[in-house]
Amino acid sequence: MNIVFNIHNRRSNTATQKVIELVSSLSKNDSNINYYLFCTSDNNKLFVKKEVHKKIMIYEFPDMLFGKLRQGVDIYNSLMRMYYLSKKVNYDILHSVDARPTIFFSSIFSKFFLKKILVLSWWDYVGKGGIFDQKFGIFFSNSFGLILRKMDIFLRKKADANLVVNEYLLKKVNKINKSSINKLIRVGSNEIKPTIEIENKLNIYKNSIFYCGALTYDEEKLLIDVANYIANIRPEIKLVTAGNNITNNQNIISLGFLKNFDDIIHLIRISKIVLLPFNNTSHNNNRWPSKISDFAMEGKAIISTPINLLKNINYSFCIFTKNFSYQSIGDAIIETYDNDSKIEKYGNLSKSFFEDELCNKKISQLINNIYRNCQNS
């Protein structure tokens, strides 16, 4: 059996690294299945680049747009994917992630014209208040975003299997498509061992408070307020971030977006506490940030704002703040920082959650079984 993973993200994007981790685990779980990955090139505008990475054939598709505008909306990118699906790659199942136009058109082409099995992963909530509102603003959400939402729902209805990352999306997809295989499978992680070079480079940030990932304007402001609050009470506590380049605050050590995913994992490993400083939005309550799996993999004590996404699952593995204010987050950090028994307790809880639900070794067994079921039905 041959599987093509189809994602809109650029090659260097963290989401692409997470998919590579998953596909690597899938291939180890079942050596009788061959895996290919379609993603978007970081820079190429005309030609498809091929490379073999971790025994996975990766196709980087060209995109006529620039940099961060390469968000899965380019027509040329879509056409090249369709051409490769029909002429260049022999496959049985297309496994697409989300439904940006690049993914939508190639998935529809594969399903209806090439008559291939379609498996969809639903990683982001695109409804009102979802990712389009948060990333691109209300104007985009109420114009182009409306079309993208309809495309997203249409694709869910036509899929042979829908894999979702949280309980809310599972309820939603069960209403949309009652005939498909619908399964809750979160974004997981593989355990990674750092090199000596990485350890030597990053160990100066040991015992820090750490956050990684992109932040909205409001969340960046919240994190700056948290850092200032802590600095006034416990100036020796270091707050380190990898993501938004926060250059206007001396109380945050901002490393910017790191290209080497192993660096991020090591920063998580050597931190004392990790943060999830999310605002109370529909987007944050109805997705599954992959960093949670990385935090849990390393058995870290996680301090989180009380978002429903985490409060409503069966596992209690986070230290929740009293509310969404910077004072509440700062107080939770200060109260926990010297409490080794509390840090150990919540670190063990997060590690147990990882082993039960977030380990790619287990996730790959579930997904490969779904592929088999789709093929046999």
> Given this model, what pLDDT does residue 126 score?
63
> Given this model, what pLDDT does residue 300 score?
96
The CA distances from residue 45 to 22, 57, 70, 105, 302, in Å, are 27, 20, 11, 19, 41
At 209, is the secondary structure helix, strand, or coil?
strand
Q: Which two structure tokens, joined as six digits, stand for 229? A: 């609050």
In 3D space, the residue among 109, 340, 97 whose CA is nearest the CA of residue 207 turns out to be 340
Does residue 154 have a pLDDT over 70? yes
Residue found under tokens 């699952």: 313
Do 2-188+359-376 and 196-358 have matching folds? yes
Tens digits of per-residue pLDDT, 235-247?
999 999 998 888 7
Of 325 and 69, the structure prediction assigns the larger pLDDT to 325
User: How far is it, in rounded angstroms, from Cα 222 to Cα 217?
Assistant: 9
Tens digits of per-residue pLDDT, 9-68?
999 888 898 899 999 999 888 888 899 999 999 988 999 999 998 889 999 999 988 766
> Given this model, what pLDDT does residue 214 score?
84
Does residue 371 have a pLDDT over 60? yes
> Given this model, what pLDDT does residue 312 score?
79
Mean pLDDT of 255-283: 89
Q: Is the pTM of this model over 0.85?
A: yes
User: How far is it, in rounded angstroms, from Cα 223 to Cα 267?
Assistant: 18
> Given this model, what pLDDT does residue 137 score?
60
Parse the chain into domains and list their residue ranges. 2-188+359-376, 196-358
Q: Which two structure tokens, joined as six digits, stand for 142? A: 């109420």
Q: Which two structure tokens, joined as six digits, stand for 376? A: 């046999």
Mean pLDDT of 296-303: 96
> Given this model, what pLDDT does residue 262 score?
85
Does residue 314 have a pLDDT over 80? no
Q: Beta strands of 229-289 (E only): which ranges?
A: 239-243, 252-254, 273-276
> Given this model, what pLDDT does residue 144 score?
67
b/e 97-108 (16+ beta carbons within 10 angstroms → b): bbbbbbbbbbbb
- For the residues of 272-317, what is the DSSP string, one character each? SEEEE---S-HHHHTS--THHHHHHHTT--EEE---HHHHTSS---
Q: Which two structure tokens, joined as six digits, stand for 39? A: 């993603």
For the chain, percent of residues with pLDDT exceeding 70? 92
Q: Which residues contact 341 (CB under 8 A, 6 or more apart)?
A: none
Instruction: Report yes or no: 14 and 290 within 8 Å, Cβ to Cβ.
Output: yes
DSSP state of 358: I
User: How far is it, in rounded angstroms, from Cα 238 to Cα 319?
Assistant: 19
CATH class for the domain made up of 2-188+359-376: alpha beta
Q: φ, ψ for residue 164 (rounded to 5)? A: -120, 160
For the chain, percent of residues with pLDDT exceeding 90? 59
Across the chain, what does the average pLDDT equal?
89
In 3D space, the residue among 87, 131, 130, 79 whose CA is nearest the CA of residue 108 turns out to be 79
User: How far is it, in rounded angstroms, from Cα 232 to Cα 230?
Assistant: 5
Mean pLDDT of 60-86: 89
Q: In this structure, are strands 209-213 and 239-243 parallel, antiparallel, or unpaired? A: parallel
At 5, is the secondary structure helix, strand, or coil?
strand
Element counts in the chain: helices (H) and strands (E): 16, 14
Of 227 and 289, the structure prediction assigns the larger pLDDT to 227
Topology at the third CATH level for domain 196-358: Rossmann fold (3.40.50)
Of 193 and 348, the structure prediction assigns the larger pLDDT to 348
User: How far is it, in rounded angstroms, from Cα 1 to Cα 375?
Assistant: 9
> Given this model, what pLDDT does residue 221 score?
92
